[in-house]
Structure 1
Amino acid sequence: MSFLLKFSSLIDRLNQTVGRAVAWLTLLVVVVSATNAIIRKIFSVSSNAWLELQWYLFGAIFLLAAGYTFLRNEHVRVDVVAQRFTRKTQIYIEIIGVVFFLLPACLLVFWLSIPYFYKSYVLLEQSSNTGGLIRWPVKLLIPVGFGLLILSGVSHLIKCIGFLQGRCPDPLAQAEAMQKAEVNAADVIRQHAEEKLEQQRQHIEKGAV
C-alpha cells in the first residue's frame, strides 16, 4: 500500500503541475480573442488560423485540466443524499463511482481517441477552412486529457482505499482543504488590492487639496 500511496502522490503532483500550467492558457485565450476582435473591427482583417487557435486553446483548458479539477473535487456533484451518510459510507460511494462509472467511461473515450488522433497524425490532416491549422495537435488533446483524468481517478481510488485502511488522510477532506486554502488566498489578494486602491484614492484627494 505504501508504494501505491507514493504512486498516488506522484499522480497528484503531475496533475497539479499540468493544472497550474493550463491556468495560464486562460490568459492566452483572452489575449488572442481580444487581438482577433480588435484587428477585425479596426482593420477588417480576419484569420482562420487565429480563430482556430482560440478553439484549440479553449479545448486544451477543459481537457488538460480535467484531472486537476477532479483532484480538487470540483466536478459537478449531486450530494443531496450522500451528505447524510457517514464519511466511511461516502468513501465507499466514491470507490463505486470511480470503479464502475468514471474509469470505464474515461477508458472507453481514451481507447477510441487513439486511432482518431493517429489517423489525423499520419495523414497530416489540415483544417477544411482556408488558412486553418493542422488538426492532429488538437486531436491529441483528447487522449492526453482523458489519460490525466484516468490517472487522477486511479489516485483517488488509492487514497479512498488507503483511508479505509487507516493508511492516509480523508481524500474528500483534503480536497475541501485545498478549496478553502485557494479561496482564502484569493481573499487576501483582493483585500490587498482594495487597500492599495484606497491608499491611492486618499493620496489623490490629498494632492487635490
Structure 2
Amino acid sequence: MQQLLHISRIIDAFNEWVGRLTDWLVLLMVLLGVWNVIGRYLGRFLGQNLTSNALIEAQWYLFDLIFLWGAAYALKHNEHVRVDVFYKNLSYKKRAIANLIGTLLFLIPFCLMVIYFSWDSILNSWKVLENSPDPGGLPRYPIKSMIIVSFGLLMLQGISEAIKNWAIFTGYTVSGEEADDSGL
C-alpha cells in the first residue's frame, strides 16, 4: 500500500503543478481578451487593425486549455459536480467506497473511451497539419491533441483517487499509516 500511496502522491503533485499553471493561463486569457476588445475599438478609431484572428483564436485555445487541464485539478481537490443527496450522509469509509466504485466503473472507462474515440480524429489532424479555416488563424492539431492529454491527466488523477479511497477503505490514512476505525 505504501508504494501505491507514493505513486498517488506523485500523480497529485504533477496535477497540482498543471492546475497552478492553468491559474496563470486564466490571467493570460483575460488579458488577451481585454486586448482583443480594446484593439478592436481603438483600431477602428485609428483606422488600423490592432487585433487578428490568431489573437482571438489564442484566447479560445487558452480557454480550452483551462477547461481541459483543469478537470484533473478539480478532481484532485474534490471540486467536481456531485449529487450530494445520499453522499453527504455517508460515513468516511462509505464515501471512500462510493468514490472508488464511481472512479473504477465510470471515470476511468469514460476517459479511456474519449481517448479511444478521439484518437483517429487527432491523428488525421496531425497528418494534414489542420489549420483554422479563418484567415490568419492558428493551427488546430496542437489544441486537438490536448483532448488526449487532458483525459490522460484526468484518468491518472482518477487512479490516484482510487488508490487513496482504497487506502481509506482498508484502514490506512492517505499519509500511509494504519488508521483506527474511530476516526473514520
Aligned partners of 2:8 and 2:161 also within 8 Å:
yes
Unaligned runs of 5+ in 2: 176-184
| 1:21 aligned partner | 21
> What is the TM-score of this pair, normalised by structure 1?
0.78
* Greater mean alpha carbon deviation, residues 3-12 or residues 38-47: 38-47
Q: Which of 1 and 2 has greater Rg?
A: 1
Identity of aligned residues (%): 42
- Equivalent of residue 147 in structure 1, options 149, 152, 158: 152
| 1:114 aligned partner | 119
- Counterparts of residues 1-209 of structure 1 (less than 5 Å): 1-44=1-44, 45=49, 46-169=51-174
Q: Residue type matched to 2:5 in 1?
A: L
> What is the TM-score of this pair, normalised by structure 2?
0.88
In 1, the alpha carbon distance for the partners of 2:169 and 2:87 equals 17
How far the C-alpha of 1:131 sits from its partner, in A, is: 1.0
Structure 1 runs of 4+ with >4 Å offset: none
| 1:201 aligned partner | none
Aligned partners of 2:5 and 2:174 also within 8 Å:
no
SS of the residue 1:166 aligns to: coil
Which structure carries more relative contact order (alpha carbon 8 Å, separation 6+)?
Answer: 2
In 2, the alpha carbon distance for the partners of 1:112 and 1:75 equals 23
Root mean square deviation, CA, Å? 1.3
Q: Which has the higher helix share?
A: 1
